[in-house]
Amino acid sequence: MILNRETLINLVLAALLLAVPFAADALGQPFYITLATRIAILALAATGLNLALGLGGLVSFGHAAFFGIGGYVAGILAAHAFSGEPLLFGLSGTKQMWVIWIVAAILSGLVGLAIGAISLRTSGVYFIMITLAFAQMVYYFAVSWPAYGGEDGLSILVRNQFPGVNTMRPLTFFLICYVVLLAALGLFALVRASRFGTALQAARQNEVRVATVGIQPYRIRLTGFAISAAVTGLAGALFADLNRFVSPSMLSWHMSGELIVLIILGGTGRLFGPLAGAALYVIFEYALGGLTERWQFFLGLILLVVVLFARGGLLGLLAGKAKHG
C-alpha cells in the first residue's frame, strides 16, 4: 500500500490519541485521560453519523436520539442489575459491557430503522426537520417518563464491567473505548469500499441513476441509516459509562447539532474526519472554557468561520481534497 498524505495523517492522529493517555497516566494526570476518552467516544458517535451523512448524504439532525438510547440502555440495564428487579419478561439487568453494547446497538438500530422508514420517504430540508422532530419526541418521552429519573437523569453507581480488566481504572476504560473506535473505523472503511457502500454513495450523488440500474435507493439508505444509528447507540452506551450518568441532555437537539459539527470540523465523509473533529472540538471546549466563561459564544464564532470560509474541515486543510466524493 502506498502511504498517501491522508493515510499518514490518519496514522498520526490515531497514534497521538493513543499516546496522550499513556503520557498522562505516567505523569499522574488522570484528567487528560478522561479528555482523551471523551474524544474517542464522541469520535465513535460521529463515525456512526458519518455513515449516514458522509457516505449517504443523509443530513440527520436527530442522531442524539440514538446516542441517548444507547446511554439509557447502559443506565437502565445497570440499574436493574443493581436493584435485582427483573426488567422485561423476567430478564434481569446486567453489568457486563459487552452485553450492554449489543443491546444498545440493536435497540438503536431498530429505532433507527423505524425513524428512517418514515423520514427517508422525504428528502432535503424535510428530512433534516423530521429527524430533528423524532429526536425531540424521544427527548420529551425521556423527560416525562419518571421511572428512570425523568428530567433528573439516572446515575450508574459503579462503572459496568468488562471480563478480565478493571474498568474503573481510567486508562483501561480509555483503551476499551479506543479499541471500539478503531473497530468502528474499520467497519466504516469496509462499508465504504463494499458494494453496498458504493451504492449508498451513488445514491447521494445521483439518485435517478442508481434507480435506473435496478437498485432501490430507499432500501440502501434505510440500511445505511440503521447501521449508522447502531454505531451511534454503541457510543452512547460508552458515554454513559464514562460519566456514570445518563440524562435527557444526551438526547437533546444540541447533541445532534454537536455530532454534525464534529464531522464538519474534521471533514465530511472522510474516514478520520470524526476523530479529527472530535479532538478539535474537545480541545476547543477545554481551552476556551479555561480562558472565558463565555466559551460557547466563541465556539459559535469559530464554527461560523469554518462553515463560511474553511470548507473541508481540518483534514481538508491538512490532506487536501478528498480523493473520492
Partner 1 sequence: MTLALALEQLLNGLQLGVMLFLMAAGLTLIFGVMGLINLAHGSLYMVGAFACATVAAWTGSFWIGLVASLAAAAAAGAIVELVVIRRLYDRDHLDQVLATFALILMFSEGTRWLFGSFPLYLDIPPLLQGAVALPGGTEYPVYRLAIILAGAIVAFGLYLLISRTRLGMRIRAGESDREMIGALGVDIRTLYTVVFALGAALAGLAGAMVGALQSVQVGMGEPVLILAFVVIVIGGIGSIKGALLGALLVGVTDTMGRFLLPKLLALFVAPAQAGMIGGAAASMLIYIVMAVILAVKPRGLFPAAHA
Site for partner 1, rule CB under 8 A: 53, 59, 61, 118, 121-122, 124-126, 128-130, 132-134, 136-137, 140-141, 143-147, 253, 257, 260-261, 264, 268, 294, 296-297, 299-301, 303-304, 307-308, 311
Rounded to whole angstroms, how far apart are CA atoms 186 and 193?
Answer: 11
Residue 22: count of CB within 10 angstroms of its CB: 14
Q: Minimal distance in Å, beta carbon 278 to partner 1?
A: 16
Please say which residue, 171 or 288, places its beta carbon nearer to partner 1.
288
Please say which residue, 59 or 187, places its beta carbon nearer to partner 1.
59
Q: Minimal distance in Å, beta carbon 297 to partner 1?
A: 4
Q: Minimal distance in Å, beta carbon 305 to partner 1?
A: 9
Q: What is the DSSP letter of 169?
A: S
Please say which residue, 60 or 94, places its beta carbon nearer to partner 1.
60
Please say which residue, 21 or 274, places its beta carbon nearer to partner 1.
274
Q: Minimal distance in Å, beta carbon 218 to partner 1?
A: 12
What single letter denotes the amino acid at residue 277? G
Q: Minimal distance in Å, beta carbon 112 to partner 1?
A: 15
Give the 3-state secondary structure of 87-143: CCCCCCCCCEHHHHHHHHHHHHHHHHHHHHHHHCCCCHHHHHHHHHHHHHHHHHHHH
Helix (H) or strand (E) holding 32: helix 30-50
Rounded to whole angstroms, how far apart are CA atoms 110 and 140?
Answer: 19
CA distances from 320 to 12, 165, 312, 313 (A): 16, 41, 8, 10
Please say which residue, 193 or 301, places its beta carbon nearer to partner 1.
301
Please say which residue, 42 or 181, places its beta carbon nearer to partner 1.
42
Closest of 227, 325, 229, 314 to residue 278, by C-alpha? 314
Please say which residue, 5 or 294, places its beta carbon nearer to partner 1.
294
CA 163 to chain centre: 24
Q: Minimal distance in Å, beta carbon 261 to partner 1?
A: 7
Please say which residue, 158 or 317, places its beta carbon nearer to partner 1.
317
Q: Minimal distance in Å, beta carbon 172 to partner 1?
A: 35
CA distances from 122 to 113, 116, 117, 125, 223 (A): 15, 10, 10, 9, 16
Please say which residue, 132 or 181, places its beta carbon nearer to partner 1.
132
Kindly provide the b/e burial profile for residues 80-109, where b requires at least 16 CB atoms within 10 angstroms of the residue's own CB. bbeeeeeeeeeeebbbebeebbebbbebbb
Q: Minimal distance in Å, beta carbon 145 to partner 1?
A: 5
Q: Cell numbers at residue 29, please?
A: 494526570
Positive or negative, the Cα torsion across 197, 133, 181, 314? positive
The answer to whether 191 and 52 are in contact (CB under 8 A) is no
Q: Cell numbers at residue 136, please?
A: 425531540
Q: Minimal distance in Å, beta carbon 140 to partner 1?
A: 4
